[in-house]
Amino acid sequence: MKKQRKEEKRDSKKFPSSAPFPIPITRGAWWSPETIAVVTGANRGIGFEMARQLAAQGLTVILTSRDTSVGLEAAKVLQEGGLNVDVHQLDVLDSSSIQEFCDWIRERYGGIDILVNNAGVNYNLGSDNSVEFAKEVIQTNYYGTKAMIKAMIPLMRPSAAGARIVSVSSRLGRLNGRRNRLRDLTLREQLGDLDDLSEEVIDRTVNTFLQQVEDGTWQSGGWPQTYTDYSMSKLAVNAYTRLMGKILSDRPDGEKIYINCFCPGWVKTAMTGWAGNISAEDGADTGVWLALLPDQAITGKFFGERREISF
């Protein structure tokens, strides 16, 4: 993994406004205590750390968790530290849970300014590459993320700075990485062509993968060679981010929504079996930076270590 990250770093470029974190709260900051940020799956790991860092910048953060009691406990830790954190139950796989959350947001806050899609699962650790839970991985990481984006867009409040959507993704989902890429060149080109990219193309790709998993033919399908189901879920997130960046760019000034995704790296969390080499604090940094960027024109892009990375 270290070798992979070093190889891909050579393909990246330094992105502007990369001052060291934390970003100071100044008169020039576009956010305030009235700025509402939602972080999904924020009861632990990167999600918890992103919620903490955003709240530490003076925002109001809504910490969501599939398990209500666990979410309340996580929020309490932040609240006891003097941070402005609210909490609500949310299961990104449950449409009724999403609707209930939207109704609660509308009634309590009137809308939101930032959405951080962090909720996700991964069942492959070490050299294991089982696809036993591929359907759940795709449903949670891709379809759950997509469902939240669609549900939250109508709740995003107009502002001069623009609303923000940030999704946690992975370099494992890169189309053109040196490792773990799709072997099907035609499919790779299709997913990489923003002019022809569509939600239907992305959905068809992941559904074809899942069908081959069910048929037992996935190993000859040309899919990523390691962390296969997780990689496919994040490839879909990356593609959907690019697509939505294009679609949302047509919104008028004052109603802009900027969407980006990022790779936190190999982070020491429960999802990696605590085998990572990056702390949750460092892993969350790029996501928080993206959520608070003052440069409004940045959208539909993929980042790692505050640098733009090719898809």
CA distances from 194 to 114, 185, 242, 311 (A): 25, 16, 7, 11
Radius of gyration of the chain (CA): 18
Decide: helix, strand or coil at residue 160. Answer: coil
- Active-site hit among 142, 227, 230, 240: 230
Q: Is 123 one of the catalytic residues?
A: no
Cis before 22? omega within 30: yes
Q: In the chain, count of helices (H) and strands (E)?
A: 10, 9
For residues 296 and 42, give the distance between their C-alpha atoms in angstroms, rounded to a whole number: 26
Residue among 156, 122, 143, 60 nearest 273 (CA): 122
By annotation, the residues acting in catalysis are: 230
